[in-house]
Amino acid sequence: MAQSSSGHDNASVSKEELEYLYASNVNVSNFVSVKLSGQSNYHIWKAQMLSLLDRLKIRDIVENRDAWLKSKSEDIAINYDIFLKGWILGSLDEELRRHFDYSDDGQSIWRTLENYHGHISASKEELEEYMKASKVNVSDFVSVKLSILSNDYYIWKAQMLSLIDKWMIRDIFESRGDWLKSKSYDIAKKYDILLKGWILGSLDEKLLRRHFDDSDDVQSIWWTLQIYHRDVSASKEELKEYMHASNVNVSNFVSVKLSGQSNYHIWKAQMLSLLDKLMIRDFVENTKNWMKAKSKDITKRYNILLKGWILGSLNEEVLRHFDYSANVQSIWWTLEDEYCFRGYPTDQFTK
């Protein structure tokens, strides 16, 4: 009897291993043809993924975890979970994949996707808690308006976090994966909109207009503010590049005095040749990228330097429209708006 039992166990293990080897060689794209991008194609993606799991008779790995673990040896169960994780992450688009990493197990990734994209309605308790949060008076917590050159960032951040912690929603931007696992799709979406309103409503008009719009998600807004206002001194390399830029002879690049639309394009081309030479064009044309790459200290220095270059290359009539309280980007885009598209035949825009 003992011998017979041992033979049966060996046969079971052998069958299990054969099934596992078959699964390890499956061509996932034969079953899952879409890249999951969000709620719009979640149900198609889920149906295709389940067809793969059903073909391999392993649906329990996501839908009945206890039964799954009882039916498999420990090593095989671990290996299947690695497969599942790879299959799922490999079928997500790049934007969605960045919310996960390989420390998450396959089942938790599956459940997070289901909660967030399966459009599960919020529970009564979740809605009640959200309704309380939506009625809060933000000014009771956040008393400062954050501005571009504000020295009050850390006060603003502490005040905003006191509001966020009051409602226990800090995970929205600090631990996005955990947040999405803990909330229904409906309520996660509502809190995203609510928190974005709190943050954008506490910024002054210049900061709001220059860097953000309604298409930005709350997480990117939060981290952009942190990057922009971080109190980091310029590095040795940054200072070296800045010192080189501050000693440049601008007239070697910009030979005209901007007088209006008649010579704007020549002036702009010359000014851009200077910015390109010093690899600082992003300062005026892609401010978000610039802020991510540079310290706050060096950003302030370049703002003063470029402002001097630009205002110094305007004739007296154009110059009188600006003063030194304006920032570089504002001056640059005002000139662009004023002179770039003037004077073209009207029919070019009406054909």
261-299 confidence digits (pLDDT tens) = 889 999 999 999 999 999 999 888 887 778 777 877 788
Q: What is the per-residue pLDDT for 102?
A: 65
Whether this prediction's pTM lies above 0.95 is answered by no
CA dist list (Å): 166 to 111, 136, 138, 174, 235: 27, 10, 11, 15, 37
Tell me the mean pLDDT in the region 117-132.
78
Q: What is the per-residue pLDDT for 345?
A: 32
Q: What is the per-residue pLDDT for 350?
A: 29
pLDDT band at 257 (very low <50, low <70, confident <90, very high): very high
Tell me the mean pLDDT in the region 95-124.
76
Q: Is 213 left (phi over 0), alpha (psi -120 to 50) or beta?
A: beta
Residue listed under structure tokens 């050159």: 149
Q: Which of 212, 199, 209 is nearest to 142 (CA)?
A: 199
Tell me the mean pLDDT in the region 86-109.
81
Q: Which amino acid is at 124?
A: K
Q: What is the per-residue pLDDT for 149?
A: 66
pLDDT band at 150 (very low <50, low <70, confident <90, very high): low
% of the chain with per-residue pLDDT over 70: 87
Q: What is the per-residue pLDDT for 119?
A: 58
pLDDT digits (tens, 9 = 90+) for 43-66: 889 888 888 998 888 888 888 888
Q: Which of 297, 301, 326 is nearest to 311 (CA)?
A: 326
